Amino acid sequence: MSTTTQELGADRWVEYFDSIAPSVEGLLVTIEVMSEKLGDQVDVERLPLQAISYDHNDNVLEVSVGGRGPRYPVLLRHFISRPQTISIEESGLLTPSAILITDASGVRTLIRLLEPTTLGV
């Protein structure tokens, strides 16, 4: 299966994340933050996605993970303020396999989306 990457225009961010919300809920998520000052750091590893959305008024992308039953009882939120670019990697499916966001300070956040069965969970 071929993989394509496309950069989304800022005018499409709200619509895009609203459109994928039903198909990505429950997927496992890994969030890696890549900064020249701090290096690469894994912030979240293989937790179930609760929601992902972009708020135009606050100019923030929010990723909510966990909060699903006794195995993942706590809801964690990861915020990316003032995104400048958002690129989507797709594999021909309706859901992205990765999302790369660069914020105003140059920090890049890589969000990988995985099917739970992919990891034997």
**Confidence band of 7 (pLDDT split at 50, 70, 90):** very high
d(CA 103, CA 84): 5
Tell me, what's the pLDDT at 119?
A: 43
Q: What angle do CA 93, 101, 118 make, to 5 degrees?
A: 40
- Establish how many alpha carbons lie within 13 A of residue 109's alpha carbon, considering only the half-sphere containing its beta carbon: 23
> So what's the pLDDT on residue 121?
45
Backbone φ/ψ region at 59: left (φ over 0), alpha (ψ -120 to 50), beta: left
d(CA 111, CA 40): 13
Tell me, what's the pLDDT at 67?
83
Closest residue by Cα to residue 114 from 47, 60, 18, 36: 47
Q: What percent of the chain shows pLDDT beyond 70?
A: 93
Please report the pLDDT score of residue 92 as a whole number.
64
pTM of the entire structure? 0.88
Q: What is the per-residue pLDDT for 43?
A: 87
